[in-house]
Chain A
């Protein structure tokens, strides 16, 4: 053990005895938790209803809202992936509105 990393090594070393102790008498306990619902809806705008009705069953709105601006072709590919690969039951008549919303709120040139 070297001594030239006093701060960081101390933190690392501090874990070891506690690990050893815990492992020697390790027994597992049942777990019951609640996860946050992630029920925020999409900001208003043309197509927001289509977004709320088709996207939020599988993932929270933040997944989309945290995406960078993407060209329309990439948004089309994403929506297509959700429908074909991930089997999202998106109503065909809503696809246009979803794309319009994505391109108008998260679109990029190209």
Chain B
């Protein structure tokens, strides 16, 4: 999208994976990939996207939009590690004015509003606070929007607007305590350094209730997978709200304002709202529905080593593996079906990296006969929430978590 580069070849995602042989080669030979085009399984199209390596500190990603950047993680990355590498982690910005130079000496984080003492914290001062870490999934509210039927406007993601990382930083609570939250505080509002092109447009800001902000889990992260954040993922500081959708994980965080009233800004009351219904689901065209701000995530699971249309051997043992997450809880059970959901088997779960992390799973299964088969996976969270059989629908394309299925052929 950035510059018209000749499309050397038209490659399907599967074809690309086989050609590139995974991440190592992908990073070793960006020129070939820069010309590559993937076909995403988006019903009704447009389904072609460029694989881009044009973004600083980032490797090969699916180009959804150049400015402001929307970059999707190619799905094969999720088969390579339970942690999503920083250079393959998806990117999503709302406004096009993004600072491209950050000086660590002069950067300051403001803490102000309904507090006893306003703060202006340097990065050194933040690094000197007690260090905490946690593994958590960061997922866009609209991850998988492209699969909604009927389709809707927005970032037309497939399933790659998510990632899992070990976040290191300081507790938001510790920072708020240093400022001294005054009695009567209602919410805490977070603002980053990005700005709209048009000055009158609503600056991107998000808020959390004061008790949530002080729960000791919400973090201000300065590292991701042990390294400083790529600028496009929010360098130098990013809010981490474990279990909640990424819209709250404000990037390039430089302003924290304690409010004595609920936040009424556009990004809390109009954008990022969902129907107050089970699975945030309504019928297309349905009106008169109460809308509430999107908040916690819901369980999801994926097969990562088998792709639609793959040919497997009938009568031979086959390995299926993948990832799951419980949303705002851990993974208690991950079941697999090789008969389209008629019967389910428990899978083996991998290392528990914490309740907010991806959890790997695997199972060996045997397809009894030649022909088409439908593979499914179903996650039950540690709070007892199960992925639904039918897809949800809402006009914004938020919170998809239907049981995933992959059609394959045994021969």
Contacts and interface: CB of A to CB of B under 8 A. Distances in A.
A86 B56 CA distance: 28
Interface residues of B, number: 72
Given A1-B351, A68-B42, A33 B231 contact: yes
B222 A88 contact: no
A42 B100 CA distance: 26
Given A12-B350, A58-B96, A31 B235 contact: yes
Contacts of B360: 5, 8-9, 12
A37 B98 CA distance: 12
Contact of A12 (B55, B82, B156): B82
B18 interface: no
Given A15-B81, A33-B231, A89-B198, A59 B223 contact: no
Contacts of A8: 79-82, 321, 350, 360, 362
B223 to A, nearest CB: 6
Interface residues of A, number: 51
Contacts of A88: 198, 201
Interface of B: 1-4, 42, 44-46, 49, 52, 54-57, 63-70, 79-83, 95-96, 98, 100-105, 123, 127, 131, 133, 146, 151-153, 156, 166, 168, 196-198, 200-202, 222-223, 225-228, 231, 235-236, 266, 270-271, 321, 348, 350-351, 353, 360, 362
A88 to B, nearest CB: 7
Nearest to A18: B226
Sorted from nearest, which 8 A-B pairs have the closest CB atoms?
A38-B66, A19-B226, A38-B67, A36-B2, A22-B226, A33-B56, A68-B151, A11-B81
Given A8-B81, A12-B81, A63 B65 contact: yes
Given A4-B362, A58-B96, A85-B266, A12 B68 contact: no
Nearest to A15: B83
28 contacts: A4-B362, A5-B348, A8-B82, A8-B350, A9-B360, A11-B80, A12-B360, A15-B83, A23-B168, A30-B104, A31-B235, A32-B100, A35-B67, A37-B2, A38-B66, A38-B67, A57-B197, A60-B65, A65-B46, A66-B156, A67-B46, A67-B153, A68-B151, A68-B153, A74-B152, A85-B271, A86-B196, A86-B198
Contacts of B362: 4-5, 8
Nearest to B222: A28
B329 to A, nearest CB: 21
A106 to B, nearest CB: 9
Most interface-central of A4, A14, A36 (chain B CB within 10 A): A36
Contacts of B45: 68
Contacts of B54: 36
Contacts of B198: 57-58, 86-89
Given A11-B80, A28-B236, A70-B153, A36 B44 contact: no
